[in-house]
Structure 1
Amino acid sequence: MTSTPDLTPAARRMAELLAGVRDVQLTAPTPCEDTSLVGLIGHVDGLVIAFTQAATKDIPEGGSQPPSDVPSELSPDWRTRIPEQLDALAAAWLSPDAWHGMTEAGGITMSGAEAGNVAMNELVVHGWDIARASGQPYAAGADEIESCLAFVYPAVEQSDGKGVPGLFGPAVPTSGDAAPLDRLIALTGRDPSWTPDRT
């Protein structure tokens, strides 16, 4: 890629998906094994903060922390607070400085470019998860998928397709004519045809 990816469309799409989640759906299953929709949204809440700090290099004293257990409930203001945080995340990654130098996220030191691609992957893949769990449509741009694959492909190759603990499960086979988004989803250990009633 000749220019750095723009996380704004993926962040806005995530905010729109969250707005479309009904309270009654919060206990629904998701493509993430043993994780309900409320738990996945809580995970997104945490990762948005972590990757905003990674972009600004504003790492907490003592370093960034690995993800904690998936939460079983959300704070009362999550419907307004998380979209605001998503705006801040996208704005932080618009700065060219975010993509240079070294940074931290989730207790792992990485380059700014790597962190930016991981942040994009979190938004796109978990956006797909939330869309599937809540019955909403989902699409991602070619440049977004390219950014995700810059992180996912090397990780999958290093694991021989067996998955990366704490990130994603073993890659799922797809057909040669599978859509780019389906290929990305399958590489992260998810079945592109997953629906809540097939868990």
Structure 2
Amino acid sequence: MTSNPDLAPAARRLAALLAAVGDDRLDARTPCSDSTLGTLIDHIDGLSQAFTMAAAKDVPEGGSQPPSPDGSNLAPDWRARVPERLEALAAAWREPSAWEGMAEAGGVQMPSEVMGRVALNELVVHGWDIARASGQPYACGDDEVRECLVFVGQAVEESGGKGAPGLFEAPVPVPDGASPLDRLIALTGRDPSWTA
């Protein structure tokens, strides 16, 4: 049995990237089609809560809902609130029970061990998105990329190469010898060479 990944490094990295985003950049384009930087940050705020609840098996009354992020939802305290929620997400997935049974987030139910890897993938890939959209450097651990490649690769294979609705678009080609991170980004339907 493989050990479960620690989400803390990816959560801390994403929080540090968010801290460097100026208010003047919130309307900037991102590698996510149709998302401004502000909308992407609102999405990260929402997913941090959703995946924390998923780890605790805390399903809201009436079930969880698919995200509908909007940059106009960002309250003035987002710079403090979002990193705190990212930290709570990582802490929730440190509990062994988080990885057991079934979990629900965004209106989707799946085995908890898969849900935790979805959460890691969200942190890693959206970290790349934030870095690219805000002109910051991005590097993450090889172990994180390996975990994400396994999850994304399986999802793409199961979809027949069409991507995963609600998670990512169909893959884009990359040259032979592309780095593992570039391969991951391309598998999620993003162009690894994208710049703001």
Please classify the TM superposition score into its range, dividing by the shorter chain length: over 0.9
Aligned to 1:3: 3
Residue 72 of structure 1 and its aligned partner are, at CA, apart by 3.0
Show structure 1 runs of 5+ residues with no match.
Answer: none
SS of the aligned residue for 2:72 comes to: coil
Aligned to 2:103: 103
Residue 176 of structure 1 and its aligned partner are, at CA, apart by 2.0
Show structure 2 runs of 5+ residues with no match.
Answer: none
1:34-77, Cα deviation, whole Å (9 max, x unpaired): 11000000000000000000011111122111112434341111
Q: How far, CA to CA, are the matches of 1:147 and 1:92 in structure 2?
A: 18
Aligned to 1:80: 80
Q: How far, CA to CA, are the matches of 2:61 and 2:90 in structure 1?
A: 23
Q: How far, CA to CA, are the matches of 1:72 and 1:170 in structure 2?
A: 28
Over the residues paired in the alignment, what is the CA RMSD in angstroms? 1.2
Aligned to 1:162: 162
- Describe how 1:3-82 pairs up with structure 2 within 5 A: 3-82=3-82
- AA partner of residue 136 (structure 1): Q
Q: How far, CA to CA, are the matches of 1:81 and 1:152 in structure 2?
A: 29
SS of the aligned residue for 2:110 comes to: strand
Q: How far, CA to CA, are the matches of 1:155 and 1:72 in structure 2?
A: 31
SS of the aligned residue for 1:173 comes to: coil
Aligned to 2:91: 91
- TM normalised by structure 2 equals 0.96
Indicate the larger mover: 154-163 or 53-62: 154-163
SS of the aligned residue for 1:103 comes to: strand
Query: 1:152 and 2:152 equivalent?
Result: yes
SS of the aligned residue for 2:12 comes to: helix
Aligned to 1:171: 171
Q: How far, CA to CA, are the matches of 1:166 and 1:114 in structure 2?
A: 15
Indicate the larger mover: 147-156 or 90-99: 147-156
Indicate the larger mover: 163-172 or 48-57: 163-172
Q: Percent identity?
A: 67
SS of the aligned residue for 1:72 comes to: helix
| Residues 185, 84 of structure 1: alpha-carbon distance in 2 compared, 3 angstrom cutoff | same
Kept in 1, the 8 Å contact 2:182–2:192? The answer is yes
Q: How far, CA to CA, are the matches of 2:92 and 2:69 in structure 1?
A: 26
- TM normalised by structure 1 equals 0.95
Query: 1:132 and 2:132 equivalent?
Result: yes
SS of the aligned residue for 1:48 comes to: helix
Q: How far, CA to CA, are the matches of 2:71 and 2:20 in structure 1?
A: 20
Residue 159 of structure 1 and its aligned partner are, at CA, apart by 2.0
Aligned to 1:118: 118
- AA partner of residue 163 (structure 2): G
Kept in 2, the 8 Å contact 1:8–1:87? The answer is yes
